[in-house]
Amino acid sequence: MSSFKILITSQKGGVGKSTVAANLAAFVRRLGQSVTLIDFDTHASSSNWLNRAPEIGVSVQHHLLPLEQGGKRPILDARLHLRRAAERADVVVCDLTWIDAIASELMLEFDLVIVPTSVSEIELSATAGFLNRHRWVFDTIILHSAPTLLMCPTRVHAEQLRSDVFSNQRFPVSFMLAPPVLEAQSARDMFERGYLIDLPDACGASFNEFGKAVMAALDMRQANLASREANKTTTNLSSIVRQPLHQPTASKMVTVSSQASILGRHRLQKMRADATSGKSTLVPAQATTNSLASMRIPQFFKRMSMGMSTK
């Protein structure tokens, strides 16, 4: 099986992107997978975190893309580093602050694109705009190789879990919603000293839940691709090419709560199947109580739908 490639990206700073990248790499490594982190950011926060924290076995690379050269050079360099890393690791995690000089097609190199976002109205609007500019990448009707998009609420405070103020916010593409990663001073104290997965508090529990959701999303993607490959000879291509590029479809109007439930159900089904077969599983027995629902996903996220706002 080829490497899984995960991109963690956003156009805004301060949303915890590098924190998610470094600690997700550590989470996957703890599962026994070989992991490479590629840090494309100038500040090198995620690579510095892994290099200075206690050794966990993640291979760390820091590469600056030649953005000043423009054209295809940045994406060609990124592809080269990504493909070399994928030859030696089970999972490659990339940390990249997105700028307009980077071609959208780079996202097609990845299996999973994770977009961290705070839950402020301004940040959600900016995230929706970012996704709208790259929406063709996630159009699974046209592109069979489209990456899975996973939205990750980060630095979430307890009171925001009960917020309902942004219920009208809509997004232009379908996505899965990860459990929120909670804000805590303990997380900031762990910078370059340790890993969120080892925190004994609610923040640590929330990050472990997020990590399990990422692995479930990758597992679902692998199963879907295998099913698609098996059935591609019966695919009616003529019905696909007649569809306009951004024609709203039933699948794109699925609510986030439904998508989140799909992810949660998949994790529980995998746990039960592994238990029946006697295999070990990545999802512990307490997953029933520590499911996506028990993380209290904010009501306004639950009611977001996949489509631009019609207001």
103-129 core/surface letters (b: 16 or more CB in 10 A; e: else)? eeebbebbbbbbbbbbbeeebbebbbe
Q: Answer for the pair 116, 15: CB distance below 8 angstroms, yes or no.
A: yes
CA gap 306, 131 in Å, rounded? 11
Host H or E run for residue 17 = helix 17-30
CA gap 119, 12 in Å, rounded? 13
Which two tokens mark 24?
A: 């997700």
Map out the domains of the chain as residue ranges. Answer: 4-302
Q: Answer for the pair 97, 46: CB distance below 8 angstroms, yes or no.
A: no
Which two tokens mark 215?
A: 């692995």
Write the CB contacts of 40 (distance below 8 Å, at least 6 apart in sequence): 63, 64, 65, 78, 94, 95, 96, 97
* Length, in residues, of the chain: 311
Write the CB contacts of 279 (distance below 8 Å, at least 6 apart in sequence): none
SS3 of 31, please?
Answer: coil
The pLDDT profile of the chain, 311 residues, written as one tens digit per residue, is: 579 999 999 998 889 999 999 999 999 999 999 999 999 999 999 999 999 999 999 999 999 999 888 788 999 999 999 999 999 999 999 999 999 889 999 999 999 999 999 888 888 888 889 999 999 998 766 556 789 999 999 999 887 777 654 444 577 888 888 889 999 999 999 999 999 999 999 999 999 999 999 999 999 888 877 777 777 655 444 443 333 333 333 333 333 444 444 555 555 565 566 666 665 444 333 333 333 333 344 444 444 333 333 33
CA-wise closest residue to 46 among 66, 17, 80, 85: 17
61 forms bridges with which residues in the sheet? 38
Percent of the chain with pLDDT over 70: 70
Host H or E run for residue 4 = strand 4-10
Q: Answer for the pair 147, 112: CB distance below 8 angstroms, yes or no.
A: yes
CA gap 88, 271 in Å, rounded? 29
CATH classification code of 4-302:
3.40.50.300
CA gap 261, 291 in Å, rounded? 9
